[in-house]
Amino acid sequence: MGMDINMIDIYYIEDDKTIARMVKEYLVHRGCNITLLSTIEEAKEALNRSIPAIVLVDWNMPDGSGDAMCRWIRNKWSSLPVMFLTVRGDSRDIVSGFQNGADDYVTKPFELEVLYSRICALLRRAGNVAQQYLSCGSISIDQNRLAVFDGGEEVSLSQAEYQLLLLLMINKGKTVTRERLLEQIWDNNGNYVNNNTLTVTMKRLREKLHQPSCLKTVRSFGYRMEETV
């Protein structure tokens, strides 16, 4: 039985424009949102901006190999579904792909219907894990593990620091007032706190995250997470 994957975000890392366009047209027709990425560098930038439901990785890229890309994804987002595409018959690629964290593979040339059904099957097994991860700039949060990463390195935060970052990440692109932060992070736990508590917690959070440019202060109002170009 097929799975409704309407509006699911897919990243397809592929440098062959003809194949990429053919796959995109087919998957868009099936109701998917698909982003084509023609280099590994481009793919890393896109993944650092936002997380799709699944990543399709071509094995031979102009600026690196698919297995290195799989490993990079797996280190940052342990549950993100990854499917790699390789030329038929190269079993070394297949072994290497699984060793480096890929979940499934399809060999070229492939039938588009087969690719689609494999994507559906992988998403059925994994669920839409994109919601598990939040990211902004080099900072990412794995909500299932309550873990925070800065450029792939795990950062140890206090409960208040984590809650502060999480609330700002969930509202990425919007300014969150100091009053709302105080109310939702501290007052919900029955603790009366003053304004200075938030200032001190934010100062510590910024230090631990190496003063990230994506974490903005909106003077005398609140804070905002936003992507910086």
Q: What is the CATH number of the domain that holds 185?
A: 1.10.10.10
Query: Could you tell me if residue 137 is inside a domain?
Result: no
Tell me, yes or no, whether 172 and 127 share the same domain. no
Tell me, yes or no, whether 163 and 95 share the same domain. no
Tell me, yes or no, whether 175 and 207 share the same domain. yes
Mean pLDDT of 25-52: 92
Tell me, yes or no, whether 181 and 93 share the same domain. no
pTM across the whole model: 0.71
Tell me, yes or no, whether 122 and 184 share the same domain. no
Tell me, yes or no, whether 104 and 194 share the same domain. no
Tell me, yes or no, whether 28 and 125 share the same domain. yes
Beta bridge partners of 144: none
Residue at 37: amino acid letter: L
What is the spatial order of strands in the sheet that 9-13 belongs to? 33-37, 9-13, 54-58, 82-87, 104-108
For residue 186, what are its two tokens? 């501290």
Query: Could you tell me if residue 203 is inside a domain?
Result: yes
Q: What is the DSSP letter of 193?
A: -
DSSP characters for 93-146? HHHHHHHTT--EEEEES--HHHHHHHHHHHHHHH--GGGGEEEETTEEEETTTT
Mean pLDDT of 208-222: 94
Tell me, yes or no, whether 42 and 98 share the same domain. yes
Tell me, yes or no, whether 53 and 96 share the same domain. yes
Strands 9-13 and 33-37: parallel
Tell me, yes or no, whether 121 and 160 share the same domain. no
Query: Could you tell me if residue 146 is inside a domain?
Result: no
How far is the C-alpha of 57 from the C-alpha of 74, rounded, in Å? Answer: 13
Higher pLDDT, 3 or 190: 190
Tell me, yes or no, whether 172 and 122 share the same domain. no
Tell me, yes or no, whether 177 and 125 share the same domain. no
The domain of 120 spans: 9-132
Query: Could you tell me if residue 198 is inside a domain?
Result: yes
What separation in angstroms does the CA of 7 have from each of 23, 32, 130, 172, 207? Answer: 16, 5, 13, 21, 38
Query: 3 falls in which pLDDT band (50, 70, 90)?
Result: very low
Query: Could you tell me if residue 144 is inside a domain?
Result: no
pLDDT in tens, 101-134: 889 989 888 899 999 999 999 998 887 677 788 8
Query: Could you tell me if residue 4 is inside a domain?
Result: no
Percent of the chain with pLDDT over 70: 91
The Cβ-side half-sphere exposure at 190, using a 13 Å CA radius, reads: 0
Query: Could you tell me if residue 55 is inside a domain?
Result: yes
- Domain count of the fold of the chain: 2
